[in-house]
Structure 1
Amino acid sequence: MSHSHGHHHTHDHPDLKGRNLVISILLNIVITVAQVIGGLLSGSLSLLSDALHNFSDVISLIISYIANKLTKRKASFQRTFGYKRAEILAAFINAATLIIVAVLLIIEAFKRFKNPEVIESDLVIWLSLVAILGNGFSVLLLKKDSKSNMNMKSAYIHLLTDMMASVAVLVGGLLMKYYQLFWVDSVLTFAIAIYLIWMGFDLLINSTKVLMLFTPDSVPVQKIVDEINAFESVKNVHHVHVWQLNEDEVHLEAHIDFSEDITLSEFDTILKNIEQYVFKKYHINHVNIQPEYSYDDAKDVIVQD
């Protein structure tokens, strides 16, 4: 069996990424404390819901920070992959908590809508402005890394949605101050919750697919099998597995039945050609091939292990 992999991906600056996460964590702790106090004093559910969302941000950012640190740890005999999937797990946890928080907000919004209360709108306005500035700065810190890292994307989405929620709370505060539309508080809370679900669902699905070792959507397994079958001396490609380990690694594992009893050096040449082909066309950078000749095993493309 031969196993080969390339290192064709670029690396972020983990120290800078970690520093940006720490700054965002500290900012969100300050915002959360301020909004909880302000929400209790003003009676605003939307401000308290924004504080709850901010608190979930703090938790998610801490998880992201820990995951970012874990990925730097080296592999060992007990952990042969190291902690490469820590950031995917963090993305899953963050997306799940985002949706749970949203459901709780919807329940509270319905309760408050039936019995709207007079709200101290000045506090709502000023604290929402503080949250917009704090989360806006955090969003800028994480924007670059969010484009290439699922874990950072989950943290970025948390902060972006919270900034948008704070904008909505600000608008609501202004409406309550100048038009006494106190029912707007509940409507905004409901809107914020729906937005959280919409933003978190896609990330939850994608991280679940990676954790479940599903084949990436961009990789057509049957087409790859047909193309490898066209290689010289290849008789049959079977027992295929394709999965994504983390943001950087896509693995292909397969058995190849050869039409003749080739030498190891000939196999190495064919393997190298396969590796270059699947990387160039499908960005698969880890290839593990088991060579066979007249070997008695199941020849189906997909075999249940």
Structure 2
Amino acid sequence: MNEAHTHTHDHADLKGRKLLITIILNIVITVSQVIGGLVSGSLSLLSDALHNFSDVASLVISYVADRYSKKEASFDKTFGYKRAEIIAAFVNAATLLVVAVYLIYEAVKRFINPQEIESGLVIWLAVLGIVANGFSVLLLYKDSKENMNMRSAYVHLLTDMSASVAVLIGGLLMKYFGWFWIDSVLTVLIAIYLLVVGYDLLKNSFNVLMLFTPKDIKLERISKKITTISEVKSIHHIHVWQLNEQETHLEAHIDFSKDLTLSEFDEILEKVEKILFDDFGINHVNIQPEYQKDDPKEIIVQD
């Protein structure tokens, strides 16, 4: 048990170190692109710099949330700060959408009044962005599969890398074909991509914050499974929600067909917990036992 706790703690510290590295890399990229965008006159480079700046803020939020999520529970904070990373994911997703709308606005203005751009500088800075963000993406890839906060940071960095690839292509087209209008087109494409990924992440984090039932869990299936236990007459007044991505909670009333002893209830509760964990991934269960109690028996009861 001690070794498992140490391993978890070490993994959490490694997550924090990875985020710190990506923060430093993104600060370097952002400063370079702002200078390069101003010198070259490239809107797509400046838009990429703005996106990178929002990423620095988002990564800092993710880092702070990661630190807070490790704080212990207390009498006035019985869940600790386990939701901190979900809040960070929500804020980061919202910034993606705001940045995307602003980029489209600026791109339309530039498309109406195109400007000549120093494409050579754009190309080299785009390459820098691809290398640095590519390294950051590889750093966070594994953790992004298991944690919404890390996924929000990963998505920011992945879109950065994609944006840098688009800027590189644009720089080459401007250099060899003189297509300066491509700068605005690429900016819009980057922004549309941000809108798509940002909305998906915003929706998922919002669902967790609002205590919505996870979309892969069907309450009717839970009721059907639990009532296969012979002593269970019905399960009702069910609430299922995620505290974070590691913890899914269920609370419900179970109406029993006979007047059980406490030890008998404990035995049945073990069966209920096993079904909920094995079939639905629910790992925190709170059951209120009932026998011939006069209350609503619907699966969902408005509190």
- TM-score of Structure 1 vs Structure 2, range by shorter chain: over 0.9
Shift of the alpha carbon at 1:150? Answer: 0.8
Q: With structure 1 as the length reference, what TM-score do the two structures score? A: 0.95
User: Cα deviation per residue 1:199-226 (whole Å; 9 max; x = unaligned)?
Assistant: 2221111111111111111111011112
Alignment of 1:46-57 (within 5 A): 46-57=44-55
Amino acid paired to 1:178: Y
Cα distance in 1 for residues equivalent to 2:38 and 2:245: 42
Residue of structure 1 in register with 2:255 after alignment: 257
Where does residue 107 of structure 2 map in the other structure? 109
- Equivalent-residue separation in structure 2 for 1:294 and 1:82 (angstroms): 37
Give the structure 1 partner of residue 185 of structure 2.
187
Q: Which has the higher contact order (CA 8 A, sep 6+)?
A: 1
CA deviations on 1:146-195 (whole Å, 9 max, x unpaired) are: 11111101100100110010011011111111111110110010011011
Aligned to 2:36: 38
Provide the secondary structure at the position in 2 that maps to 1:13. Answer: helix
Judge conservation of contact 2:225–2:275 (CA < 8 Å) in 1: no
Distance in 2 separating the partners of 1:256 and 1:161: 47
Count of matched residue pairs:
297
Task: Give the percent of matched residue pairs that are identical in Structure 1 and Structure 2.
Answer: 68
Where in structure 2 are there 5+ consecutive unaligned residues? none
Q: What is the match of residue 87 of structure 1?
A: 85
Aligned with 1:64 (options 62, 65, 71)? 62
Shift of 1:296: 2.2
AA aligned to 1:214 is F
**2:94 is matched with which residue?**
96
Q: Where in structure 1 are there 5+ consecutive unaligned residues? A: 1-6
1:302 is matched with which residue?
300
Deviation at 1:232, TM superposition (A): 2.0
Aligned to 1:285: 283
Matches within 5 A, 1:1-305: 11=8, 13-305=11-303
Q: Per-residue CA shift, 1:79-117, capped at 9, x if unaligned?
A: 111111111111111111111100100011011000000
Runs of 4+ aligned residues of structure 1 deviating over 6 Å after TM superposition are none
One-letter amino acid matched to 2:48 = D
Give the residue type in structure 2 aligned to 1:210: V
TM-score (norm 2): 0.96
Instruction: Check conservation: 2:237, 2:301, Cα contact below 8 A.
Output: yes
Aligned-pair distance for 1:231?
Answer: 1.2
